[in-house]
Amino acid sequence: MKPAMSAAWNALAHAAETSHGVHLRDMFTADGQRFAKLSVTWNGWLLDYSKQRVNAEAMGLLHGLWQTADVPGWIARMRAGEAINHSEGRAALHIALRHPAGKGPILYAGHDVMPAVHGELEKMQRFAAQIHGRHWRGATGEPISDIVNIGIGGSDLGPRMATQALAAFHHPELKVHYVANLDGADLATVLAGLQPRTTLFIIASKTFTTQETMQNAASARRWLVQALGEAAVARHFVAVSTNLAEVARFGIDPDNAFAFWDWVGGRYSLWSAIGLPLVLAVGFDNFRQLLAGAHAMDEHFFSAPPAENLPGLLALLEIWNTNFLGAENRALLPYSQSLGLLPRYLQQLEMESNGKQVDRQGLPLDCATAPILWGEPGTNGQHAFYQLIHQGGRRVPCEFIVCKQADFALPGHHEKLLANCFAQSEALMRGRTLGETTAELAASGMAAGQVALLAPYRSFPGNQPSTTLLLPRLDPFNLGALLALYEHKVFVQSVIWDINPFDQWGVEYGKQLASRLLPVIVGTSSGAGLDSSTAGLVAACRDN
């Protein structure tokens, strides 16, 4: 049954209609226990969703939607290793990557995948010990000081984001850099500050054929060979790939290739060997803690009822905002500079997973799916786009993430950061009426004519929904749990919307067209049959 045809969906639509015009500030005035009723704690975390435009009736209906869509059944299918990525015939077993040793098997096609998973983790641990112990030497006998990860998409965004997020835990003698963009400026600017003899490259590509990654890898290889010779490649390149033939052809010893599996989707692969640059940045013990945090969130997701289930609550609240209140986007606002790349990471996780309009039966959907996600760390965003959120007239659900403790504890900073975060959520909820603004300006001694002139500009409608997630601190364990939280949130939404979150055919289509156009741009093909715009753009470039 299509989502919008179910009785639960229709009941929610009716609840949204009856709540129209009710202001959040009135909800708080009417119920002094609203925060206590609409907040959840877990493992030192606090999820406050009392500033969302929901009431007890709406939440009850949303919890019912969880059951109607059979979210528990889909969780069981994922855990059992079923091919829930039906369009590609694959399982989605990223949970196995953080499943502890000795806690039982996880099966895929009847085989326990855990020995292979932990074997690869042990290989990563040994390699990190070589690098950190300065035992791995480059072609000139010098230890490695810089790591360059070359990948794109899930082979870049996850480890890049986590490396920045855990800056407080970095190894003191090693710098980790990331290159993803096909634009030569990305690679060139990184290489400009490095020495070939002390640089190690990680080429991250499952197939070892990804166009952007392999072009950057070829250019990095040329840079190294020009300085140190062909034989140096084996001491300065390792791979994360399953295509050992191509790895060897590149000049990398297959023993220095780290594996992952086709049941690991790219945007869910941080927990695998794709996390190797993160291991080198923060150490294997901290990477273990990242996995432990993700596993703890897995266990919570698998067992908690919807009223207490953090991923489930985030998923259901966004469905409420998107499908019943008409919001088309969401602002992710981490009040943490270290989480500055989290919005970009979640853009891929959420919009690539659920940005679809065809259901699991191949039929058009009758409801909206993933909203547009954007954001910036606070307090920077306050001086950029918050004006639009406060007074721009668009409904923008906001998600604040902040930590009780600072990861870099400079005196006087964190208290002000917390004050700004909480003040913004309050202002978005409460707003300021024209009458309140008028009274405030008059009390300041402003002349009546000036008050009348300025009051409309200084009034705010409020009633803008937001959620605040308060973490104890930003450390590997809590970061792992945070990222797993959003993975499971995406999964819950996909079940309710009846879509496959694990394929990305829209990405593949653009790559196919690029492969067709490349011969036209370099002049080895005429480009017959191109539309006039594309042909004109190509011709304009070939004129140069």
What is the CATH classification number for the domain harbouring 478? 3.40.50.10490
Mean pLDDT of the chain: 96
Strands of the sheet containing 257-258, edge to edge, are: 175-179, 146-150, 199-204, 237-240, 257-258
* Same-domain pairing of 281 and 339: no
* One-letter amino acid of 324: F
Q: Against a cut of 0.85, is the pTM above it?
A: yes
User: Do residues 428 and 462 lie in contact, with contact meaning Cβ atoms separated by under 8 Å?
Assistant: yes
Least confident of 279-293, 326-340, 502-516: 502-516
- Find, among 425, 319, 328, 326, the residue nearest to 20 by Cα: 326
Q: Is the pLDDT of residue 140 over 90?
A: yes
User: Where residue 393 falls among pLDDT bands split at 50, 70, 90?
Assistant: very high
- Whether 38 maps to a domain, the answer reads no
- Find, among 2, 1, 3, the residue nearest to 324 by Cα: 3
- Whether 137 maps to a domain, the answer reads yes
Bridge partner list, 364? 358
Bridge partner list, 29? none
Cis previous bond, 468, omega within 30: no
- How much is the CA Rg of the chain, to the nearest whole Å? 26
User: Where residue 344 falls among pLDDT bands split at 50, 70, 90?
Assistant: very high
User: Do residues 332 and 349 lie in contact, with contact meaning Cβ atoms separated by under 8 Å?
Assistant: no
Residues 358 and 2: their CA atoms lie apart, in Å, by 11
Rounded to an integer, the average pLDDT of 535-539 is 91
Q: Is the pLDDT of residue 4 over 80?
A: no
User: Do residues 131 and 123 lie in contact, with contact meaning Cβ atoms separated by under 8 Å?
Assistant: no
Residue 518 structural domain: 510-542
pLDDT recorded at residue 268 = 96
Is residue 108 helix, strand or coil? strand
489 is written with which tokens?
Answer: 């949130």
**Domain total of the chain:** 3
79 is written with which tokens?
Answer: 């855990």
- Find, among 349, 343, 465, 333, the residue nearest to 402 by Cα: 333
User: Do residues 108 and 91 lie in contact, with contact meaning Cβ atoms separated by under 8 Å?
Assistant: yes
- Whether 87 maps to a domain, the answer reads no
Is residue 541 helix, strand or coil? helix
Least confident of 54-58, 179-183, 264-268, 523-527: 523-527
Give pLDDT tens digits for 8-45: 999 999 999 998 889 999 999 999 999 999 999 999 99
- Whether 339 maps to a domain, the answer reads yes
- Whether 262 maps to a domain, the answer reads yes
* Same-domain pairing of 138 and 265: yes
Percent of the chain residues topping a pLDDT of 70 = 99
CATH code for the domain of 535: 1.10.1390
357 is written with which tokens?
Answer: 């309009």
Residues 322 and 373: their CA atoms lie apart, in Å, by 12
Least confident of 11-15, 81-85, 480-484, 512-516: 512-516
Instruction: Find tokens 């052809």 and name the residue.
Output: 249
156 is written with which tokens?
Answer: 């870049």
* Same-domain pairing of 322 and 231: no
* Same-domain pairing of 277 and 314: no
* Same-domain pairing of 516 and 483: no
* Same-domain pairing of 491 and 516: no
* Same-domain pairing of 347 and 238: no
Residues 433 and 403: their CA atoms lie apart, in Å, by 31
* Same-domain pairing of 486 and 535: no
Q: Supply the residues annotated as catalytic.
A: 352, 383, 511
Residues 214 and 204: their CA atoms lie apart, in Å, by 9
- Whether 298 maps to a domain, the answer reads no
Residues 11 and 493: their CA atoms lie apart, in Å, by 18
* Same-domain pairing of 144 and 99: yes
* Same-domain pairing of 488 and 520: no
- Whether 236 maps to a domain, the answer reads yes
Give pLDDT tens digits for 448-483: 999 999 999 999 999 999 999 999 999 999 999 999
* Same-domain pairing of 167 and 241: yes
Residues 474 and 408: their CA atoms lie apart, in Å, by 10
Residues 439 and 455: their CA atoms lie apart, in Å, by 9
pLDDT recorded at residue 512 = 86
Give pLDDT tens digits for 299-325: 999 999 999 999 999 999 999 999 999
Give pLDDT tens digits for 209-259: 999 999 999 999 999 999 999 999 999 999 999 898 999 999 999 999 999
pLDDT recorded at residue 271 = 98
User: Where residue 544 falls among pLDDT bands split at 50, 70, 90?
Assistant: low
Give pLDDT tens digits for 151-192: 999 999 999 999 999 999 999 999 999 999 999 999 999 999
pLDDT recorded at residue 1 = 66
- Whether 463 maps to a domain, the answer reads no
Stretch (H or E) spanning 420? helix 414-430
Residues 310 and 46: their CA atoms lie apart, in Å, by 10
* Same-domain pairing of 263 and 372: no
Stretch (H or E) spanning 402? strand 398-403
